[in-house]
Structure 1
């Protein structure tokens, strides 16, 4: 994610906090007192219509814009052919699905060094290796 400055953290009494990433503010949801969950943080523009089949373009937020990261974003469209019925309960899907979900320990300061796990996905073929 593009981050023009070091993130800073400020608390809000409601249990939702705001993370200022440069000029963006991202609200976060606390399910418990141990973790904070940032849902649906967009990192690229919508890939539908003129951007279909093109590489993602980094999202550059407008000055002073904010994100409500309290709800998960839509899942990317994919074929359900051959999957058991359990997998047919996919939530809302959209081509505008390029977003991140971040979970961290509550009270993490901007200067804290923590391990990070990142899953980079490449679509339906990301599990195959071509030579």
Structure 2
């Protein structure tokens, strides 16, 4: 259990399964070429959902990484991923055709990586 969860018993840990489901909605069409990716309002909703998941998970991964030894490889990798996640959240989709979908997929891949770090750092094992 993370310190933030222990400090406030009303706070639940991040729901990594729900986060991964949102990621899969955007990235699974890559695995099946004939599957159509989300568009329009569905894509906007998924993008907002993934951004929200990133905003929830970033402080959790940061807290877990900072608990690791200073020279720890998992700590270093997680902190690098956190930098990428912050950059992605601060960026905008390209105005080119397909820019919104490409942006959402970049966010999804970043969220997926943060979920991996969260689990590898022991926070998602509960």
TM-score (norm 2): 0.22
Give 1 or 2 for the bigger CA radius of gyration: 1
Higher relative contact order (CA closer than 8 Å, sequence separation 6+): 2
TM-score (norm 1): 0.22
Give the helix-richer structure, 1 or 2: 2
Give the strand-richer structure, 1 or 2: 1
